[in-house]
Amino acid sequence: MKIVDVDNTFHFQFFNYFHLPFQLIHRGIFSLKVRYVKIKQIMANNLLTGRNSQVYIGIIYFKEKQMKRMLLILVVLVCAVMVMAEGVNESNELTVYTPASKDQINIIVPLFEKKYDAVVYVVEGGTGELFNRIKAEAENVQADIMFTGGVDSGGSFKDYLDDYISIEEGKLFDPAVNHPWYNAVYLHPMGIIYNTNLVAEGDVKGWMDLTDPKWKGKVLMPDPRKSGSAFGELFIHLNAFGRDDGGGWEYFESLYKNLTVTTSSSHTYKFVASGEFPLGLTHERNAYKYRDGGSPVEFIYPEEGTAVRPDGIYLIKNGPNPDLAKKFIDFILSKEVMELLRDTGFRVNRVDVEPPPGYPAIEVIKQNAYDPVWAAENREMMLRKYTEIAESN
């Protein structure tokens, strides 16, 4: 596994391509009475991709009196290899863009590399940053896989993603959480985290309870203009109360009067766990992570129903190595790997893998459908309407 800084590779590549023949001359290779030279130049990074390239000049035979002719041939060969190297697809190399944490990457990548004798280049970044990068690189695709990232975010970029249905499909939960342009890896039921020292059990049972004036200013929610999970929460509210007939926005305007909006999704569960706020909107893993760590928090699955927001794995359209990329998707969704990811605290999208300890079965959670395509297509409208509500309160 290689973590690459793809913004610092051009100079290295340029130096190796164009300085190789001059390095050979400088080292006096042509002043020696040798019969042949075998040159193998390992390129650490290719232009903007972080991919390995190998330059083979082959075996060159020459005599001292033929040095000038051989030098010309050598230079021509180097130039030819430079051109060919740009088009070489190393069949055992994969570039993965990911917003995932290192504890996930450090589990899955070494196992995949070992199983497939592969080299995986990992480029880290935020979900929006990486999807925008995929879009910007559409004419010169640099990566093969986007690993994780909310599917409502991915829906805005589905034109740059290829359809692929994993061979593990039969072992995944309800296909409604999957579209051909992504395979769901993690399932995140959204709901309400509360501090048990500040909120009595049963005092809040669902979304509507959060509109009670006694909670004014006491409900934390991240800004959906800055947080992908908060955008998902906004969509869930609209979905629960009517996204098409106006009921969802009517509810959200009532809810907003009680909200304290934060700039980061992590503030929500951290501040509730510390007792600075009694209530917050987040997904279950954040709440249970703090609960299991000893904080006085619990999690509510709203009685009106919630939605399961998936994190997906995506096959990038026209990526350099689609065959290996598909193997990577199937590998991630395999039972063995899903169990390992479950052990990091994630609810995974596989029917034969139990959720983490203390999590309810997905089947007992009242769910409303989650449509990432609708969310993506209506993203601008939703954020514009949210801004209008925020500015009027």
Quickly state the pLDDT bin for 154 (edges 50, 70, 90).
confident
Check whether 193 has a pLDDT greater than 80: yes
3-state secondary structure (DSSP) of residue 244: coil
Q: Which tokens go with 182? A: 């992504």
Asked if 257 contacts 325 with a C-beta cutoff of 8 angstroms, the reply is: no
Taking alpha carbons only, the member of 49, 39, 43, 50 closest to residue 17 is 43
Q: Which fold, 187-308+379-391?
A: D-Maltodextrin-Binding Protein; domain 2 (3.40.190)
What is the rounded average pLDDT for all residues in the chain? 82
Q: Which fold, 94-186+311-357?
A: D-Maltodextrin-Binding Protein; domain 2 (3.40.190)
Q: Which tokens go with 35? A: 């019969």
User: What are all long-range contacts of 139-143, with beta carbons under 8 Å and residues at least 24 apart?
Assistant: 141/316, 141/317, 141/318, 141/319, 141/320, 142/6, 142/48, 142/49, 142/95, 142/320, 143/49, 143/95, 143/96, 143/97, 143/316, 143/319, 143/320
Per the model's pLDDT, the better-predicted residue between 228 and 26 turns out to be: 228
The CA-atom distances, in angstroms, between 296 and each of 122, 270, 355 are: 37, 11, 22
Check whether 105 has a pLDDT greater than 80: yes
Q: What is the pLDDT of residue 269?
A: 96
Check whether 130 has a pLDDT greater than 90: yes
Quickly state the pLDDT bin for 28 (edges 50, 70, 90).
very low
For the chain, the domains span: 2-87, 94-186+311-357, 187-308+379-391
Asked if 13 contacts 45 with a C-beta cutoff of 8 angstroms, the reply is: yes
pLDDT in tens, 201-216: 999 999 999 999 999 9
Check whether 5 has a pLDDT greater than 70: no
pLDDT in tens, 344-373: 999 999 999 999 999 999 999 999 888 888
pLDDT in tens, 236-262: 999 899 988 889 999 999 999 999 999
pLDDT in tens, 47-97: 334 444 333 333 333 344 455 555 555 544 545 544 444 444 457 999 999
pLDDT in tens, 265-298: 899 999 999 999 999 999 999 999 999 999 999 9
Q: Which of 80-94, 111-125, 157-171, 183-197 has the lowest mean pLDDT?
A: 80-94
3-state secondary structure (DSSP) of residue 323: helix
Q: What is the pLDDT of residue 244?
A: 85
User: What are all long-range contacts of 244-251, with beta carbons under 8 Å and residues at least 24 apart?
Assistant: 249/385, 249/389, 251/207, 251/208, 251/211
